[in-house]
Chain A
């Protein structure tokens, strides 16, 4: 069975600091997909990234970057120069087929990120 662990329940940093959100996953499949979603205070789920298990290249998008390491089964998310608008709950998720699989995404419990001005 697949499992996603986000050990950090809540992180609080001061604006402009860098912050890394950890995600560790478990799966028996060799082909799988990892996701990050952002849930701002308004409640909707915002897709951030999807990464295939066969592509271990790290990705950078503006102030966001993702470090995928199969050797440690981790898919960590770093925000550089954090801003107050980054305050949200962030979910890491795993699926064993593209897009989500018949069984859906398996989500971690989320990390509540608080950026203080």
Chain B
């Protein structure tokens, strides 16, 4: 089954304690992306990656890091989480042809609800 898998589904942590949210897709997609969802703000893009070792900032990258060492994985790293990073996070993926995505849609993971105390 084609899917994007995020882990964990729920995470509670404390300020300053480094954490990683994993994302893996089994569709051989080149493009992967992270979004955060906050009430009243909708979804905003954090980082994206066009292929292995190619990453770039989205609209709200501050406080986050990503890596793309393998095509299937795109972890989101919070080196020193703060309470304003409490949010619902989504990973997404899509195929690419050249620099243009040809899939009809982004495939989203089930989300990770992060609470930073």
- Do chains A and B stick together as partners? yes
Q: Which residues of A contact B (CB under 8 A)?
A: 9, 35, 37, 43-45, 47, 50, 91, 93, 97-105, 107-110
Q: Any chain A CB within 8 A of the CB of B50?
A: yes
From the candidates B50, B101, B110, name the one contacting A98 in the complex (CB within 8 A): B101
What separation, in Å, do the CA atoms of A39 and B89 have in the docked complex?
13
From the candidates A9, A43, A99, name the one contacting B106 in the complex (CB within 8 A): A99
Interface 9-mer from B13-21, B34-42, B69-77, B79-87: B34-42
Interface of A is mostly: loop
Give A97's nearest chain B residue, CB to CB: B100
Residues in chain A near residue B109, CB distance under 8 A: 44
A99 touches B101 (CB 8 A): yes
A54 to chain B, nearest CB (A): 15
B101 touches A101 (CB 8 A): yes
Residues in chain A near residue B102, CB distance under 8 A: 98-99
Q: Which 3 A-B pairs have the closest CB atoms?
A: A99-B101, A104-B45, A109-B42
Give B50's nearest chain A residue, CB to CB: A102
What separation, in Å, do the CA atoms of A103 and B99 have in the docked complex?
11
Which residues of B, 27-68, contact A by the 8 Å Cβ criterion?
Answer: 31, 33, 35, 40-45, 48, 50, 56, 58
From the candidates A9, A100, A110, name the one contacting B94 in the complex (CB within 8 A): A100
Give B107's nearest chain A residue, CB to CB: A47
